[in-house]
Amino acid sequence: MTFDPRILESCAIATGVSAVSLMALLPLGRRLGLVDYPDQGRKRHAFDTPLVGGLAIAIGMLAGWWHADVFTPFEDAVIWTTLMLVVVGVADDLLDLRVWVRVVTELAAIAIVVISSGVYIRSLGMVHGHELTLGWLGIPFTVVAVIGLLNAFNLIDGIDGLAGCLALVAAGGIELLGRHTGSNLQFAAVAVIAAALVPYLAANLGLFGRVGKVFLGDAGSVMLGYLLAWSLIGMSQGQPRQLSPGLVLWCVALPVFDTLTVMFRRLHRGESPFTADRGHIHHLLMDAGLKPRDTLICLVAFAAIMPVLGHVIHQLAGALANAVAFVVLLAMYALFTACLGRRREMEQPSPRMASRVLAGPGMPARPPSRMRQRSGEGAQHDAPPRVQRSTDLPT
């Protein structure tokens, strides 16, 4: 592969346009009320923060893609449906849309890409010389995969920098593990995604101070998961194949691990898998004593190791051993997070458990008062009190 300087130029344009867009959108987001407000439950940030990071990234990516000229029927479909999801995501951040509106939009976006480009998951790769093809089942499998990954990024967006850094790791894994043969369009598109993320990460991690702080918002986290899902599908299913299907999940291992284990625990408790709680890996690590920045470093390092580990196993032991190793690591991850959750329950008992302890043996447990639930560990199970929106800067 020969280096194309246009890719570097496109990345520079994406970074610059994203930075300028971020500065322009900050005051606009406050004026429109596109702001995330802290509460007593899961949202424990210190002050009201604009939700414009995803919009700035989207504008930067569009500029970079335009310069790189990545437009093919597949890329066109992905870009237009991404914009559709961004618009709905912004509306959700502003108006708190019903779940069915978001789900229908996501299904429509996936259907548009599949119908207009013909790209979907047709093969799971080669095992002992035989290709595992899905036939017509590839279409529903693609729907589940794309919706799963975009929601995985949305769910793991819980501390500063995490979703953005995991997107960078995934993009880096694609660039490093992909086979740079033939057209470089998809590699250029992924590189532009990474470049457009840089200004957002600088602002989100506080490099510009409190005034410049932004969050991704649902528009941003869903957008990143959606784009990475289609990038992985397009490069692993196209001809020539630019990424082995056996390496796809390793590029996004941490969001996948976290989402699967969290949803399994919720279902095991008899709750909806979409119930909001503090059961994600970043919550568990911080409740175990790690600071947010240390938690970020640990999780990003873990995520960065996964593509390299998957590549080594795939090269040395083959596709079947690679798949088995992924499942084993998922089980180990689930066990580790279960131990962290059990430790948290022992150190910080829920109000119901505490009432049983206080009641003593043979005494009925006194149900915790509603006020105690809202101010204690059980607060996340209640709907947080609505906060009056304001366009004024926090004091």
Rounded Cα distance, 191 and 178, in Å:
12
Rounded Cα distance, 363 and 357, in Å:
10
Q: Which residues contact 380 (CB under 8 A, 6 or more apart)?
A: 41, 42, 276, 277, 278
48 annotated to a ligand binding site: no
Q: What is the DSSP string of 257-311?
A: HHHHHHHHHHHHTTS-TT---S-SHHHHHHHTT--HHHHHHHHHHHHHHHHHHHH
Question: Buried (b) or exposed (e) across 350-373, using 16+ Cβ within 10 A?
Answer: bbebbbeeeeeeeeeeeebeeeeb
Question: Helices (DSSP H) in the chain: which residue ranges?
Answer: 5-32, 53-68, 73-95, 99-117, 138-155, 162-177, 185-204, 217-237, 248-251, 253-268, 281-287, 292-317, 319-347, 351-359, 370-375
Taking the mean position of all CA atoms in its chain, how far away is CA 88?
A: 17
Q: With contact defined as beta carbons under 8 Å apart, do 256 and 263 qualify?
A: no
Number of residues in the chain: 395
218 annotated to a ligand binding site: yes
Q: With contact defined as beta carbons under 8 Å apart, do 221 and 157 qualify?
A: yes
Rounded Cα distance, 293 and 160, in Å:
8
Q: With contact defined as beta carbons under 8 Å apart, do 214 and 204 qualify?
A: yes
Rounded Cα distance, 388 and 104, in Å:
29
Binding-site annotation: residue ranges: 154, 218
Binding-site annotation: residue ranges for Mg(2+): 154, 218
